[in-house]
Amino acid sequence: MYALFLNHSKKEIWSLNGTLINLGLDHRRRLSGGNLIIGNLDRYQDVGMYQCMAYNTVGAILSRRASLQFAYLDHFKVHTRSAVSVREGQGVVLLCGTPTSSGDLTYAWVFNEYPYFVQQDNRRFVSQQTGNLYIAKVEPSDVGNYTCVVMNSITKGKVQSSPTSLILRTDVMGEYEPKIEVNFPDNVPSSKGSTVTLECFALGNPVPEITWRRANGVPFPSKVKMKYSNAVLEIPSFQQDDTGGYECVAENKMGRNTATGRLAFYAKPQWIQTMKDTAMAIEERLHWECRANGKPKPSYAWLKNGQQLLSEDRIHVEDGVLTVSPLTLSDAGMYQCVAENKHGIIYFAAELMVLASPPDFTGNVLRALLKAKAGTTVMLDCKPQAYPTASILWKKGNLPIHTNDRIALSPDGTLRLANVSKSDAGSYTCFARNRFGMSSTTGRLLVTDPTRIIQGPVDLEIIVGESIVLPCQVASDPVLDVSFSWAFNGQLITKGDGHFETAGDLMIRNIQLYHAGKYICVVDTDVESLSAVAVLIPGPPSPPESVTVEEVTDSTAQLAWSPGRDNGSPITSYIIQTKTPFTVGWQRVNTVPEVIDGNIHTATVVDLNAWVEYEFRVLARNGVGVGEPSPVSVKTRTEDAVPDAAPGDVGGGGGSRYELVITWESAGLTWPPQPPAHPAMCTVMTASRPSLHFT
């Protein structure tokens, strides 16, 4: 049983070699879901080209063709073959005489009796193209009976010929130049990706040596293989680069001979451009184009409902292009573009729908009321669904509209009114007509006065904690619906923010530094949108946060902090201040780096006193000024240290009897730190009065 498959369609019919198969009278063939099932195959009745036509109420299309062939191998004719008599040193060809067959065949030769097969070498070769056995130079060991064995690669059936006897004559053949007996055609068409095999074998004495080369001198790629002492050249995965001339050279000391041929690249057609299902109005022009590549270049044909189209009257067919104009209802159906070369054929199908109907405005009527601002341009669309396209007529009230430099009618029926005024207000009707009927749609145009912002917001400098009102008052046509919205720095202000209250005006309660920025009042009406802008001048930065002391020595402290908001102006630098129990208020201190850039959030405070408890705070500066200080850091004590200088200006004198007075200046460090004092003095008593006084 054999089955030819097709995707399910509503109805199908099959043909064999162009003739419709009558399933009602054929008990061996039947349809199953569109597939053709053939039972009890008959080699003579069922061989050929099959094709299916699928059809429904829309139309019909043809499937690609399917070839059904039968592989077989007949027996050799039974008869005694004549003996072949040759001289020693002479070349000989033993003919196989392949019987009638279909399908790929392979050949072998039995020497004397099975299973002793002829072993191929540089002297003996079995051609898989002719089936013949070639002996380049006969030797005494070649004498015997030879039988050709043929196998069908599909059916695996084998047949063998009657034996052919090879006998030697008494005389000996002298040496002679090669004679090529097996070669390849002048032109060998080869498909992309296939394995190409070329054979070349020569008779001669001495036994010729076979070599191969390309006509253009380009070396063979590594994929190329030589077999059977170079008698076979095999090119796997054939590509465009493998095309060109090939030469087989047979050579011995007596001379040389050459066989040449050309490998040609071919490819079945493949689509590179196709058409799509199309719906067009009656009387329009259809233009379809399809393109395929292939080698040789494909030819094209067009089918409608399975029948070939020819150029006539309204239909023009030329090289993959189909033009039909003007379309009629009878042109509706299924179309196929067919591309074919000698190596294959492909089909592509698309549906053509031809539409015919009176104008219909359903879903596309004019707006019942259209409002427009005076001085603007109004577009009134008239786009009915109509096949063929409808002619358009506009009326204002009961009077036809005539075009002028201000009123224009576009080809698609749109009415354009430029610089409209109150006089343009009124009722407008579009009438659409084609040969199948007429329809209309009506709408009213209302021209309004322009809306104006009579009091808008102005630029202000903000003060933290206060409340301000940004006004936005308009004068508008009473027929318009007016709505207000506010945006802050590009973000729409919503009612969820407790600082803002909106109506037309915007109130900002308990204003903070972060409220500085750009405010826009947006006024929307039925016919326009307008806006007004005010800028609240940004304040200095908000306080830095999370001031921490990360590392302390006797004279330095490393600080880190997080930046606060910049309030609309980028932070340019930071200032660090300290306070101790011995200072009055906050003092600015030296830092590393000396100037702390606004992008840096850490610094080292230097020149601190040892064993002193410090508090730190950080202030940020931007283009507006210096902001509020950060929260104070945790109190941190520097480490202790030895004095960094010796006392100076040591002196004495002025003591009484039995006293030694010594004076000096302080080393510059006192504990606790305090303003400079009078010079220190030491009184030393004599030995008779052993006492020591410091003052």
244 conformational bin, left if phi > 0, alpha if psi -120 to 50, beta if neither: left
Is 60 exceeded by the pLDDT of residue 309?
Answer: yes
**Bridge partner residues of 348 (DSSP):** 337
Report yes or no: 424 and 373 within 8 Å, Cβ to Cβ: no
At 183-200, the pLDDT tens digits run: 999 999 999 889 999 999
Task: State residue 538's pLDDT score.
Answer: 67
d(CA 583, CA 219): 95
Strands (E), 449-570: 452-455, 460-461, 468-470, 473-475, 483-488, 491-492, 500-502, 506-508, 517-524, 529-537, 545-552, 557-562
pLDDT band at 30 (very low <50, low <70, confident <90, very high): confident
| Residue 668 pLDDT | 53
Amino acid at 635: K
**pLDDT > 90? residue 651:** no
Count of positions (residues) in the chain:
695
> By the 8 A CB rule, do 464 and 508 touch?
no
374 close to 449: Cβ distance less than 8 angstroms = yes
Q: 64-108: per-residue pLDDT in tens?
A: 999 999 999 999 999 999 999 999 999 999 999 999 999 999 999
> What number of CA atoms fall less than 13 Å from residue 301's CA on the CB side?
14
Rounded Cα gap, residues 662 and 680, in angstroms: 8
35 Cβ neighbours under 8 A, 6+ residues apart: 3, 4, 5, 6
Dist CA 248 CA 251 (whole Å):
10
| Centroid of chain to Cα 129 | 49
DSSP, collapsed to helix, strand or coil, labels residue 412 as: coil
Locate all alpha helices (DSSP H) within 46-112, ordered by sequence: none
Percent of the chain's residues with pLDDT above 70: 92
Which residues are CB-neighbours of 66 under 8 A, at least 6 positions away?
A: 4, 49, 50, 51
What does the pLDDT read at residue 636?
Answer: 95
Q: Which residues pair with 135 in a beta bridge?
A: 92, 124
- Determine the Cα angle at 76 with ends 71 and 77, to 5°: 135
Distance, in Å, from the CA atom of 120 to the CA atom of 98, rounded to the nearest integer, reads 20
Q: Residue 496 has what pLDDT? A: 63
- 378 compared with 32, residue with greater pLDDT: 378
- List 4's β-bridge partners, or say none: 36
Measured from the Cβ of residue 164, the count of other Cβ atoms closer than 10 Å reads 21
Q: Determine the pLDDT at residue 8.
A: 42
Tell me, what DSSP letter sits at residue 447? E
Q: How far is CA 578 from the centre of its chain?
A: 61
Q: Is the Cβ–Cβ distance between 252 and 209 less than 8 Å?
A: yes
pLDDT at position 679 is: 47
Instruction: Please state, in angstroms and rounded to a whole number, the distance separating the CA atoms of residues 350 and 354.
Output: 13
- The residues that bridge with 242 in the sheet, in sequence order, are none
Mean pLDDT over residues 505-511, rounded?
89
Dist CA 585 CA 341 (whole Å): 100
pLDDT (tens digit per residue) in 400-429: 999 999 999 999 999 999 999 999 999 999
The distance from CA 507 to its chain's CA centroid, rounded to whole angstroms, is 51
In whole numbers, what is the pLDDT of the chain averaged over residues? 89
- Residue 648 clears pLDDT 80, i.e. is over it: no
Map tokens 């030329």 to a residue: 318
Per-residue confidence (pLDDT) for residue 646, from 0 to 100: 75
pLDDT at 218: 94
The reported pLDDT for the residue numbered 568 is: 63
pTM recorded for the entire structure = 0.60
Compute the Cα dihedral for 399, 405, 411, 416 and give only its sign.
Answer: negative
Give the pLDDT of residue 684: 46
- What is the pLDDT, as a whole number, of residue 498? 66
Q: How far is Cα 23 from Cα 12, in angstroms, rounded to an integer?
A: 11
Q: For residue 140, what are the CA distances in angstroms to 89, 168, 174?
A: 9, 7, 15
Q: How far apart (Å, rounded) are the C-alpha atoms in residues 237 and 223?
A: 9
**Chain-centre distance for alpha carbon 278:** 28
Distance CA 431, CA 604 (A): 84
| pLDDT surpasses 50 at 481 | yes
Q: Can you spell out the DSSP letters for 271-331? A: EEE----EEEETT--EEEE-EEEEESPPEEEEEETTEE---BTTEEEETTEEEE-S--GGG
Reply yes or no on whether the pLDDT at 397 is more than 90.
yes
- Dihedral sign for Cα 61, 66, 67, 72, please: negative
* Helices (H) then strands (E): counts for the chain: 0, 69
**Section 353-373 average pLDDT:** 94
Mean pLDDT of the region 459-469: 81
Residue 623: per-residue pLDDT: 83
The three-state secondary structure class of 23 is helix
Q: Are 538 and 567 in contact (CB under 8 A)?
A: yes
Token pair 């419709």 is at which residue?
20
| β-pair partners for 230 | none
Q: Give CA–CA dist 443/430, Å, rounded.
A: 9
Q: Average pLDDT for residues 377-405, to the nearest whole number?
A: 94
Kindly list the distances between the CA atom of residue 321 and the CA atoms of 62, 166, 272, in Å, as whole numbers in the listed order: 19, 65, 14
User: Exposed, middle or buried, 419 (CB in 10 Å: 0-12/13-18/19+)?
Assistant: exposed
3-state secondary structure of 423: helix
Given a cut of 70, whether residue 509 has pLDDT beyond it is yes
Opening angle at CA 548, ends 544 and 551, nearest 5: 140
- Assess contact for 189 and 267: CB atoms under 8 A: no
Sort 298 into a burial class: Cβ within 10 Å, 0-12 / 13-18 / 19+. Answer: buried
Interatomic CA distance for residues 58 and 653, integer angstroms: 134
Residue 634's SS3 state is coil
Domains, the chain, ranges and CATH?
Answer: 2-68 (2.60.40.10), 72-174 (2.60.40.10), 178-266 (2.60.40.10), 274-355 (2.60.40.10), 357-448 (2.60.40.10), 452-523 (2.60.40.10), 545-637 (2.60.40.10), 648-694 (no CATH)
**SS3 (DSSP) at 191:** strand
The closest of 608, 512, 494 to 551, measured between CA atoms, is: 608
Residue with tokens 């709505």: 483
Task: Give the whole-angstrom CA distance, residue 126 versus residue 178.
Answer: 18
The predicted structure's pLDDT at residue 33 = 82
